[in-house]
């Protein structure tokens, strides 16, 4: 089967997210970059499905030239080739991103045939738009379910499980289909030495996308109010246990 996975390069902040002086971006000085966690699981799901059913998987991203790093990482854990839609003007809004991804997927399918499955993350870690995958699926006329915590393919259909208030729900989507996955659907593997070598040699195509902007515009980023706390240190080591239990008694959790 043929699978396409859409991933996004995002910074990996530590204890706090700093913002640039103009309020337009996350200050990435001294920060590493990563792929959104849900999308790492989408990559793993694609790798497992290809191992089970044969075929190949393409990883696609829209972002700065440096996003090639995330494509090569995905290749090192089982994707076969990468496609970079290189932008030079910062983050694109969700409609614009979806339009560019749809065009790119349509072009890839025109050359090599349709993807049986296109995978997204449930939401991107940074923008959290909850929509790019759904827009692409609609533009392609394919069924789409977001939030997958279970995914398997059999008899021309993708079986999707997800969590709801009442329990686990299942969906059965005829292929070709689009699925947005959530972290926890699987445990992503780490690259092997062989995977790392393959990722160095693999083909990564780069195109300049163009698409019209949509109607959601970011004005400025800000930090939420911080919860400051005068931490009471109850002690050092096991000797602090009675003081901890005193606190639990005060809070009424020791019934």
Partner 1 sequence: MILVLIEHDRGSLAPASLEALTAARTFGDAVEALTIGDTADGLAADLEAYGVTVVHQAHDDVLGDYGPEAWGEVVAQAVRALSPAVVLATGTDRGNEVLAQAAARLDLPFAANAIELRGSADADTLDMTRVRWGGSLLEDASLTAPTKLVTVAHHAVDAAPADTPGAATPSLLAVEIDPSLARTVVSGRVEREAGVTLATAPVVVGGGRGVGSADGFAPLQELADELGGVVGCSRAVTNNGWRNHTDQVGQTGTRIAPDVYFACGISGAIQHWVGAMASKHIIAINTDQQANMVTKAGHAVIGDLHEVVPAITAEIRRRKSA
Ligand X SMILES: Nc1ncnc2c1ncn2[C@@H]1O[C@H](COP(=O)(O)O)[C@@H](O)[C@H]1O
Which is nearest to 7 in space by CA: 109, 83, 78? 83
Compute the least distance from the CB of residue 120 to ligand X, in Å: 4
Identify what 146 binds: ligand X, partner 1, ligand FAD, none; CB under 5 to 8 Å per kind: partner 1
Is residue 30 part of the contact set for partner 1 (CB under 8 A)?
A: no
Is residue 129 part of the contact set for ligand FAD (CB under 6 A)?
A: no
Is residue 34 part of the contact set for ligand FAD (CB under 6 A)?
A: yes
Is residue 124 part of the contact set for ligand X (CB under 6 A)?
A: yes
Identify what 97 binds: partner 1, ligand X, ligand FAD, none; CB under 5 to 8 Å per kind: ligand X
Compute the least distance from the CB of residue 214 to ligand X, in Å: 11
By CB under 6 A, name the one of 39, 40, 93, 116 that touches ligand X. 39
Q: b/e map of 37-54 (b: 16 or more CB within 10 Å)?
A: bbbbbbbbbbbbbbeeee
Is residue 36 part of the contact set for ligand X (CB under 6 A)?
A: yes
Burial of 89 per CB tally in 10 Å (0-12, 13-18, 19+): exposed
Identify what 220 binds: ligand X, partner 1, ligand FAD, none; CB under 5 to 8 Å per kind: partner 1
> Chain centroid to CA 143: how far?
19
Return all residues near 190 (Cβ < 8 A) that are at least 6 apart: 77
The beta strands (E) that lie in 64-189 are given as: 81-86, 117-121, 144-148, 150-154, 157-164, 167-174, 177-181
- State the Cα–Cα distance between residues 189 and 151, nearest whole angstrom: 17
DSSP code for 19: B
Is residue 248 part of the contact set for partner 1 (CB under 8 A)?
A: yes
Identify what 63 binds: partner 1, ligand FAD, ligand X, none; CB under 5 to 8 Å per kind: ligand X
Rounded to 10 degrees, the C-alpha dihedral 91/96/101/107 comes to -130
Interacting residue ranges for ligand X, rule: CB under 6 A? 6-8, 36, 38-39, 61-63, 94, 97, 101, 120-121, 123-124, 127-133
Interacting residue ranges for ligand FAD, rule: CB under 6 A? 12, 34, 36-37, 125
């Amino acid at each position: 089967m043929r699978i396409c996975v859409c991933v996004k390069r995002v910074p990996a902040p530590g204890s706090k997210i700093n913002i640039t002086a103009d309020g337009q971006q996350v200050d990435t000085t001294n920060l590493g970059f990563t792929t959104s966690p849900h999308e790492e699981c989408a990559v793993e799901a694609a790798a497992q499905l290809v191992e089970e059913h044969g075929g190949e998987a393409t990883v696609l991203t829209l972002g700065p030239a440096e996003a090639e790093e995330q494509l090569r990482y995905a290749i090192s854990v089982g994707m076969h080739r990468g496609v970079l839609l290189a932008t030079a003007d910062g983050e694109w809004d969700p409609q614009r991103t979806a339009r560019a991804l749809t065009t790119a997927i349509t072009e890839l399918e025109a050359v090599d045939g349709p993807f049986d499955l296109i995978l997204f993350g449930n939401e991107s870690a940074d923008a959290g738009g909850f929509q790019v995958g759904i827009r692409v699926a609609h533009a392609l006329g394919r069924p789409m379910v977001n939030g997958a915590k279970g995914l398997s393919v059999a008899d021309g259909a993708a079986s999707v499980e997800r969590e709801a208030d009442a329990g686990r729900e299942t969906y059965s989507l005829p292929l070709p289909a689009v699925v947005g996955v959530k972290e926890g659907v699987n445990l992503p593997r780490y690259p092997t030495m062989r995977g790392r070598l393959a990722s160095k040699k693999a083909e990564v195509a780069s195109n300049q996308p163009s698409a019209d902007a949509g109607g959601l515009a970011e004005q400025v980023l800000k930090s939420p109010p911080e919860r400051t706390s005068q931490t009471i240190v109850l002690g050092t080591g096991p000797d602090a246990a009675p003081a901890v239990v005193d606190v639990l008694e005060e809070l009424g959790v020791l019934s």
